[in-house]
């Protein structure tokens, strides 16, 4: 790799989780009903490993929403944010088919009991030789909370307060077996050393658990914690716990400010800010020729306009705000939300049409063009922001798009010496900390 250039990290965001992908897209594959099988996502993980990505993150939510028009009709009809199968069943298939890439599974603190979550993430770390990550979400949608017996979601900031305690407990459970507890010594007739296994006796405000975990320490000890809080309280939470943060910012200046804020807060928690890798959501469009890439960009906007109900329903689910009640062409008021607060703030002052048209793209820089051109722009953004990398989102999610990124864009980035060409390590944390 060339010296003097800032290396950055790449990860992939599987939006719509383990759900239907590209079912009405011309490049969606011969049998859209196959989405229930892990094949496409396994093939994604293999392609991204070929491109030496740090990790693939599987998004999740576990309800059929009804926020938009107070009805589940739009969600069911167009497969908006549902249906979704369980990502923790998908993850082992991806792990089994790869050997270096990290697999990050979304698991919600309001939905999982902490002991179950500690056990599950520990198991995933064992079976993957230390390539497992936990996308730590608190849940946001009332419908989701109601599936788990609550009347509605806990208040936004309280969810993070509860999650603070939750992580403390989970980490104690992960630590409850010493690294050398499992001796498997036939001569001493000892499988594990009882002195090296410790109950945790955790008594918190919200959670209790006796411990120890019913499984030995995993290769990473602590599976990597990934987090996405963007609100003031969410950022403080992320600065305290996250090892990689997935962030959505509308402009390059906002990316830079976000990163600086997280790093400053991390220092306040006594952490090394370089140990937190902040990856920004982008949706590049690359093609062989500049004009065909722009034509596809325009087609993507036209598609969003045509299927606006899909996008409005998605925006409603995320924020808990019913966007059918707002004029499509009038700027939205200053919004607040008990769901994704930072997203509600991103929408404030813009018209729904504008939000539908831009999707998750940056507003000030367009990542559209030939692989080489887009690679150049991505490196310039990272130079400006200061680090640490990008989280690619799948606007089309087809094998064609995966190939364009893994075999088109990434080689162009590698040629510039700004991303890795091979893995130096097996475990996810080691790869994240490599630069
Ligand atoms: C890139 C990205 C991916 C996310 N993935 C999920 C997810 O899979 N499941 C989920 O419940 N929330 C997900 N979230 C939401 C966050 O966990 C968090 O609730 C949201 O960013 C709002 O945080 P805030 O209220 O602190 O602003 C995601 C957010 C971002 C930016």
CA–CA gap between residue 71 and residue 225 (Å, rounded):
34
1: pLDDT strictly greater than 50: no
372: pLDDT strictly greater than 70: yes
Strand ranges, E, within 248-396: 277-282, 285-286, 368-369, 389-393
Q: Does ligand 1 lie within 6 Å of residue 228's CB atom?
A: yes
The pLDDT score that the predictor gives to residue 383 is: 96
pLDDT digits (tens, 9 = 90+) for 277-312: 999 999 999 999 999 999 999 999 999 999 999 999
150 compared with 359, residue with greater pLDDT: 150
CA–CA gap between residue 360 and residue 311 (Å, rounded):
11
pLDDT digits (tens, 9 = 90+) for 376-416: 999 999 999 999 999 999 877 888 999 999 999 999 999 99
Q: Which atom of ligand 1 is nearest to the CA of 237?
A: 26
The pLDDT score that the predictor gives to residue 338 is: 85
For ligand 1, atom 23, name the residue with the nearest CA. 229
Q: Does ligand 1 lie within 6 Å of residue 61's CB atom?
A: yes
For residue 159, CA distances in Å to 118, 162, 224, 258, 334 come to 18, 5, 21, 21, 23
CA–CA gap between residue 355 and residue 197 (Å, rounded):
52
Q: Under 8 Å CB-to-CB from 238, ≥6 apart: which residues?
A: 227, 228, 229, 245, 262
- 296 C-alpha vs ligand 1 centroid, how far in Å? 28
Q: Does ligand 1 lie within 6 Å of residue 13's CB atom?
A: yes
**Ligand 1 test: best mutation among 167, 228, 235, most atoms within 8 Å of CB?**
228
3-state class of 183 per DSSP? Answer: strand
pLDDT digits (tens, 9 = 90+) for 315-356: 999 999 999 999 999 999 999 888 888 889 889 999 999 999
- 169 C-alpha vs ligand 1 centroid, how far in Å? 22
What CA dihedral angle connects 361, 365, 371 and 376, to 10 degrees?
-140
CA–CA gap between residue 55 and residue 175 (Å, rounded):
24
**Ligand 1 test: best mutation among 137, 164, 233, 238, most atoms within 8 Å of CB?**
137
For residue 321, CA distances in Å to 39, 73, 169, 304, 348 come to 35, 16, 33, 19, 12
For ligand 1, atom 28, name the residue with the nearest CA. 228
Q: Does ligand 1 lie within 6 Å of residue 230's CB atom?
A: yes
Band of pLDDT at residue 4, cut at 50, 70 and 90: low
- 342 C-alpha vs ligand 1 centroid, how far in Å? 9
- 321 C-alpha vs ligand 1 centroid, how far in Å? 16
Residue found by looking up tokens 């996502």 in the block: 41
* DSSP single-letter state for residue 131: -
pTM of the complete model: 0.96
- Measured in degrees and rounded to the nearest 5, phi and psi for residue 424 equal -95, -15
- 389 C-alpha vs ligand 1 centroid, how far in Å? 18
Query: What is the full DSSP assignment across 29-45?
Result: -S-GGGGGSSHHHHHHH
Q: Which residues pair with 225 in a beta bridge?
A: 134
Is the Cβ–Cβ distance between 223 and 121 less than 8 Å?
yes
For ligand 1, atom 22, name the residue with the nearest CA. 340
The fraction of the chain above a pLDDT of 90, given in percent, is 87
The pLDDT score that the predictor gives to residue 133 is: 98
Average predicted confidence (pLDDT) for the chain: 94
The pLDDT score that the predictor gives to residue 363 is: 81
pLDDT digits (tens, 9 = 90+) for 136-185: 999 888 888 999 999 999 999 999 999 999 999 999 999 999 999 999 99
């Amino acid at each position: 790799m060339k010296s003097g250039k800032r290396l950055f990290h790449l990860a992939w965001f599987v939006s719509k989780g383990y759900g239907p992908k590209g079912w009405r897209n011309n490049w969606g594959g011969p049998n859209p009903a196959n989405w229930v099988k892990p094949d496409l996502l396994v093939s994604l993980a293999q392609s991204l490993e070929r491109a030496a990505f740090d990790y693939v993150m599987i998004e999740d939510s576990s309800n059929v929403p009804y926020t938009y028009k107070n009805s589940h009709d739009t969600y069911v009809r167009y497969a908006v944010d549902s249906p979704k199968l369980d990502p923790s069943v998908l993850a082992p298939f991806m792990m089994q088919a790869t050997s270096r890439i990290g697999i990050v599974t979304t698991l919600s603190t309001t939905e999982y009991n902490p002991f179950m979550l500690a056990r599950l993430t520990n198991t995933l770390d064992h079976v993957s030789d230390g390539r497992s990550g936990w996308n730590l979400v608190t849940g946001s949608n009332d419908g989701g909370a109601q599936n788990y017996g609550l009347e509605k979601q806990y208040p936004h900031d309280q969810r993070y307060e509860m999650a603070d305690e939750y992580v403390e407990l989970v980490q104690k459970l992960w630590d409850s077996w010493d690294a050398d507890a499992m001796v498997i010594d036939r001569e001493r007739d000892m499988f594990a050393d009882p002195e090296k296994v410790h109950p945790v006796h955790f008594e918190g405000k919200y959670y209790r658990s006796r411990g120890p975990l019913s499984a030995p320490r995993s290769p990473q000890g602590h599976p990597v914690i990934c987090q996405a809080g963007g609100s003031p309280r969410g950022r403080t939470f992320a600065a305290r716990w996250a090892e990689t943060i997935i962030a959505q910012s509308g402009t390059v200046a906002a990316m830079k400010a976000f990163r600086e804020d997280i790093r400053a807060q991390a220092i306040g928690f006594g952490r090394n800010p370089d140990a937190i890798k902040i990856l920004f959501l982008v949706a590049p469009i690359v093609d062989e020729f500049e004009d065909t890439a722009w034509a596809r960009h325009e087609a993507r906007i036209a598609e969003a306009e045509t299927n606006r109900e899909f996008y409005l329903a998605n925006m409603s689910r995320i924020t808990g705000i019913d966007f059918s009640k707002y004029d499509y062409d009038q700027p939205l008021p200053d919004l607040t939300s008990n769901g994704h607060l930072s997203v509600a703030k991103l929408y404030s002052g813009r018209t729904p049409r504008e939000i539908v048209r831009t999707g998750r793209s940056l507003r000030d820089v367009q990542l559209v063009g030939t692989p080489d051109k887009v690679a150049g722009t991505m490196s310039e953004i990272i130079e400006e922001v200061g680090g640490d990398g990008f989280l690619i989102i799948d606007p089309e999610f087809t094998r064609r798009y995966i190939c364009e990124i893994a075999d088109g864009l990434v080689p162009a980035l590698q040629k510039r010496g700004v991303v890795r060409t091979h893995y130096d390590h097996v475990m996810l944390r080691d790869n994240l900390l490599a630069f």
